[in-house]
Amino acid sequence: MARRELNGKRIIITGASSGIGAGLTIEAAKRGALVLATARNGERLNEIATQARSQGGRVETITGELTDAADRQRIIQAVEQRFGGLDLLINNAGIGATGHFQYAGPDRLRQIMEVNFFAVCELTRLAIPLLKNGNDPAILMINSVAGRRAIASRSEYSASKYALMGFTEALRAELSKDNVQVHTVLPGLTQSSFEQNMIENNARHSLHAQRSMTASECAQQILDGVERRINERVLTFQGKLLLWASRLAPRFVDRKMAGFVKKLYAKEQQAEQNASLARTSK
């Protein structure tokens, strides 16, 4: 199948006001796309749109909360009214939290699932009729390495990305009859404001220092993959190494992760053991 050209393609990009979403907006505009960029932060969204317009292409904006059904409907109506249809839906918006599951409240899980899974599914549901009439149409899910290998202290986030991966794989088969391709990308650790924008950030070990790929580099590779029609792509070397090891030696990876967590909590565990011994010696 021939390479997909993004020049002239009508695209929705969610979560476009920062990080990978902002990079995708600028890069898609540079490639001549017609972009409807959406996010909650209207001021920041307009700044990114202004920057993207200087690269070429056409960029329109619409603010909205993806967990709100009325806002999702407005986004779909906007792309139809402004561009006359839709060729590519990029589901990029997402939130996260860190900290062990047992210490968090139920609201954290529900909020992450609402944004990372339910909102994505429902926006996609609304977009499918337009995509079926689009020009070489496709859906792109921005997932995570955590959607293939769960990460400690990121349990709810990992769960949401696993759910999204299952939805993606099923949807790819379902929409094949309609000639709508479904792609997914696993960016890995990317330089962005993701950690600063988390619902809660209670992890004892930060991954920020390991974020080597910039949002711009990430966006270039993501859109290259869409043009090359790659169904699933892992972007970083660290991500590829983790998934490779998890497939070949899952028990080894489990032990390494468990050992790392125990090391982080070694002082608390020792204190609990000492307290237990003190109680039994009385």
Angle between helices 250-264 and 266-281 (to 10 degrees): 70
Where is the domain boundary, 204, 220, 239? 239
More confident site: 210 or 158: 158
Looking at residue 228, which CATH number applies to its domain?
Answer: 3.40.50.720
Q: Which of 204, 209, 162 is nearest to 189 (CA)?
A: 209
Among residues of the chain, what percentage have pLDDT more than 70?
86
* Cα dist from 277 to 96, 262, 266, 267, whole Å: 39, 20, 16, 15
Respond yes or no: is residue 162 known to be catalytic: no
Is 264 a residue whose pLDDT tops 80?
A: no
Same domain, 114 and 155: yes
How do residues 31-77 score in pLDDT, each as one tens digit? 999 999 999 999 999 999 999 998 877 999 999 999 999 999 999 99
Is 268 a residue whose pLDDT tops 80?
A: no
Same domain, 78 and 218: yes
How do residues 205-216 score in pLDDT, each as one tens digit? 555 545 568 989
Contact (Cβ atoms closer than 8 angstroms) between residue 146 and residue 161: yes
pLDDT at 9: 97
Determine, yes or no, domain membership for 244: no
Determine, yes or no, domain membership for 150: yes
- Mean pLDDT along residues 112-129: 98
Determine, yes or no, domain membership for 1: no
pLDDT at 270: 54
Determine, yes or no, domain membership for 2: no
Same domain, 109 and 148: yes
More confident site: 101 or 68: 68
Same domain, 118 and 175: yes
Is 269 a residue whose pLDDT tops 60?
A: no
85 phi-psi bin (left φ>0, alpha ψ -120 to 50, beta other): left
Residue 177 carries which DSSP code? G
Dihedral sign from CA coordinates of 174, 37, 144, 72 = negative
pLDDT at 14: 98
pLDDT at 22: 95
pLDDT at 272: 56
Contact (Cβ atoms closer than 8 angstroms) between residue 194 and residue 19: yes
Burial of 72 (0-12, 13-18, 19+ CB in 10 A): buried
Confidence of residue 83 (pLDDT cuts 50, 70, 90): very high
* Cα dist from 271 to 136, 202, 261, whole Å: 61, 21, 16
Q: Which of 155, 159, 69 is nearest to 116 (CA)?
A: 159
Same domain, 253 and 157: no
Burial of 163 (0-12, 13-18, 19+ CB in 10 A): middle
What total of structural domains would you count in the chain? Answer: 2
Question: Where do the DSSP E strands lie in the chain?
Answer: 10-14, 34-39, 58-63, 88-91, 138-142, 181-186, 190-191, 213-214, 232-234
Is 143 a residue whose pLDDT tops 70?
A: yes
Which residue range(s) make up the domain with 267? 249-282
Confidence of residue 281 (pLDDT cuts 50, 70, 90): low
Determine, yes or no, domain membership for 270: yes
pTM value > 0.85: yes
Same domain, 112 and 49: yes
Contact (Cβ atoms closer than 8 angstroms) between residue 112 and residue 119: no
Q: What is the Cα–Cα distance from 114 to 80, expressed in whole angstroms? A: 25
pLDDT at 209: 44
pLDDT at 259: 86
Is 197 a residue whose pLDDT tops 70?
A: no
- Mean pLDDT along residues 101-120: 95
Q: Which of 126, 130, 139, 132 is nearest to 88 (CA)?
A: 139
Q: Which of 103, 157, 162, 265 is catalytic?
A: 157
Among residues of the chain, what percentage have pLDDT more than 90?
72
